[in-house]
Amino acid sequence: SAVISQKPSRDICQRGTSLTIQCQVDSQVTMMFWYRQQPGQSLTLIATANQGSEATYESGFVIDKFPISRPNLTFSTLTVSNMSPEDSSIYLCSVVSGGAVEQYFGPGTRLTVT
Amino acid sequence: AQSVTQLDSQVPVFEEAPVELRCNYSSSVSVYLFWYVQYPNQGLQLLLKYLSGSTLVKGINGFEAEFNKSQTSFHLRKPSVHISDTAEYFCAVRRNTGGFKTIFGAGTRLFVKA
């Protein structure tokens, strides 16, 4: 399975600012995803990060709020823009590697917006 | 579309007792099924998966799950739990053709008491 790291592991940010979260994988992967996990809740898919092209966003999520980059097969970033307290969540990077069916997850970034 | 229902939000159990975490799913097409565990302040870790074949699936840490197609269930079991099993458990489903989108249940908090 792939080893996934995320930076930062946690942050406290002011309302109205932006934060970029990095996801690094130790090997090339087929698919990369970004999820949000709001306090005490399950995971919600934000978008699929596509290498070299625009991300594919799920209903309720837009590029202006959550711009995503994926410049190569091992790295992606998610930016949370113009933050409000409602954006306080854990943001998780997830990958599918090779011919695998299951997803693997990074340790998450715990974001608190004040 | 697929959906997942985890029937218990919290399950308290004494150490060394057996436990069952219940999961029902809904889908009009064939699916893959997964159980993930999330320990405090960590990402999700795959416990086990059902792709096809034998309906009894064994995973890590002594967990197993049984796929029941007629009841559309995929309950997770462990014959004897440890304090260290205290965590959040997520059932998830993905269609077995046409994409990687995975739907997660709301989660079940397993709390093992001494």
- Amino acid A84 reads S
Our CA angle for B62, B63, B68, nearest 5°, is 145
Average pLDDT over residues A90-105: 89
Listed residue (B76, B48, B43, B77) closest to B60, CA to CA: B48
pLDDT per residue as tens digits for the range A71-95: 999 999 999 999 999 999 999 999 9
Task: Please check whether residue A84 is in contact with residue A15, taking contact to mean a CB–CB distance below 8 angstroms.
Answer: yes
Q: What pLDDT, on a 0 to 100 scale, did the predictor assign at position A51?
A: 87
Q: Average pLDDT of chain B?
A: 93
> Inter-chain contact A101–B49, Cβ cutoff 8 Å?
yes
pLDDT at B101: 84
pLDDT at A110: 95
Per-residue model confidence (pLDDT) at position A62: 96
Any CB–CB contact under 8 A between A61 and chain B? no
Q: What pLDDT is attached to residue A33?
A: 96
User: Is the N-terminal amide bond of A8 cis, ω within 30° of 0?
Assistant: yes
- Asked whether residue A98 carries a pLDDT value surpassing 80, the answer given is no
Nearest to A15 by CA among A72, A83, A71, A89: A83
Residue B112: is its pLDDT beyond 90?
yes
Confidence of residue A41 (pLDDT cuts 50, 70, 90): confident
Q: List all residues 6 or more positions away from B39 whose beta carbon is below 8 Å from its beta carbon.
A: B45, B87
Instruction: For residue B42, name the pLDDT band (cuts at 50, 70, 90).
Output: confident
Interface of B with A in 86-105 (CB under 8 A): 90, 94, 100-102, 104-105
Cβ of A65 under 8 Å from any chain B Cβ?
no
What's the whole-number mean pLDDT along residues B29-53? 92
Residue B98: pLDDT over 90: no
Does residue B95 carry a pLDDT above 90? no
For A43-60, how does the pLDDT look when each residue is reduced to its tens digit (9 = 90+)?
A: 999 999 988 888 999 999
* Cα distances (Å, whole numbers) of residue A79 to A31, A91, B100: 18, 10, 23
Smallest Cβ–Cβ distance between A105 and the set B43, B106, B107 belongs to B43
Integer CA distances (angstroms), B20 to A47, A61, B81, in order: 33, 35, 10
Confidence of residue B67 (pLDDT cuts 50, 70, 90): very high
Residue B83: burial class (beta carbons within 10 Å; 0-12, 13-18, 19+) = exposed
**What is the overall mean pLDDT for chain A?**
94
DSSP classification of residue A26: S
More confident residue, B17 or A39: B17
Tokens of A36: 């949000």
Query: Average pLDDT for residues B6-22, to the nearest whole number?
Result: 97
Tell whether A96 is within 8 A of chain B (Cβ): yes
pLDDT at B111 over 80: yes
Q: For residue A43, which of B10, B58, B22, B34 has the smallest C-alpha distance?
A: B34
What does the alpha-carbon distance between residue A110 and residue A89 come to, in Å, rounded to a whole number? 6
Answer whether residue A69 shows pLDDT above 90.
yes
Q: How confident is the model at residue B55 (pLDDT cuts 50, 70, 90)?
A: very high
